Amino acid sequence: PERNSHSLPPTMPAMAGLALRRLRQPRLAPAVGALLAAAALAVVACTAFVVAGVGGGAALRGRRQRPPNPVARHAWGDDVKFLDATIESNVEAGEGLRLITVQVPQAVSDAFKTPGQYVQAKAQPDAKASYYSVASAPGKTGSMEFLIKQAENNAWFTGLSRGDATLLSEAMGKGYNMACDSWTAAEVSQVGLFATGTGIAPMRSAIESGVFRGKATRLYLGARTEAALGFADSFEAWRKDGIEVVPVLSNGAGSWSGRRGWIQDALKEDEERGEGFVLPTRHGALICGQKEMVAAVRAVLAEVGVPEDRTLLNF
């Protein structure tokens, strides 16, 4: 206990001295003497290293026992504030689709500036949030509309009735930034809209905001069946506002006389037949749907000369 932890054990100097005394005995050959001296010195050095290492390790362990400086880490959405909202109406908007109107606090609607933005919604504070694009146009206070597909993961929302409570975040996301540098530099004057399923929700928001007035605009809308076309009752009004609507069904019934297949194929067919309207130097696009469709539409537009930075996504 009284010995310093960095001192050598008393036996080690004695061993070294014994080896050195034996070196002086004439009967030992010089080579053997040198070997013994080296071994003795090595033992001494090794012991010193081990003892020092023990002391150093103790010091390190002492430092490790102090807690590190905490670093705040937040997952996406951890800091989102949710506000109370109330269901105003919930009506059918197509086969398997619900159009839900929600009375929202002013903070929620005030943050909605750009078509394509979305909100997070959940049933109760400890529930996992879902993400829904806003289907109504920006600038309207008091309520928002959402087009929701009926599915197990959305049942908590699509099953709500007038007067039921829910929780919504403020509108968030970049939306469709049609004032971006690429659109401004190209002076975009014609727009292609490409959506499938509930992807029509942000397109409706953009159309009814009036942002396409004065621009040649065509909507390619994909759905499985005619009954599953969202906002079909608005097509005629949109056409009167100058929006060309091209529904494309992947599983159209025999009575369906419109386009069949996939919207990217319909676009490609129109361009190859010379019936398209894409003017590459002035064309921009908004896209919402499955990633495979997004990639395919972008590929077709790239073939006719529209750069990817003019094909906008809302997420």
pLDDT in single tens digits along all 315 residues of the chain: 333 334 444 444 444 444 444 444 444 444 434 433 444 444 334 343 333 443 444 433 333 333 332 322 223 445 899 999 999 999 999 999 999 999 999 999 999 999 999 999 999 999 999 999 999 999 988 999 999 999 999 999 999 999 999 999 999 999 999 999 999 999 999 999 999 999 999 999 999 999 999 999 999 999 999 999 999 999 999 999 999 999 999 987 778 999 999 999 999 999 998 766 788 999 999 999 999 999 999 999 999 999 999 999 998
Q: What is the pTM of this model?
A: 0.74
For position 78, what pLDDT does the model report?
52
Contact 207, 241 (CB under 8 A): yes
pLDDT digits (tens, 9 = 90+) for 77-129: 458 999 999 999 999 999 999 999 999 999 999 999 999 999 999 999 999 99
Distance from C-alpha of 10 to C-alpha of 93, rounded to nearest angstrom: 92
Distance from C-alpha of 229 to C-alpha of 86, rounded to nearest angstrom: 27
Distance from C-alpha of 129 to C-alpha of 123, rounded to nearest angstrom: 8
Distance from C-alpha of 58 to C-alpha of 60, rounded to nearest angstrom: 5
Distance from C-alpha of 156 to C-alpha of 122, rounded to nearest angstrom: 8
For position 253, what pLDDT does the model report?
75
Q: What would the DSSP string read from start to end of 25-60? A: -TTS-HHHHHHHHHHHHHHHHHHHHHHHHHHHHHHH
- Quote the DSSP letter at residue 68: P
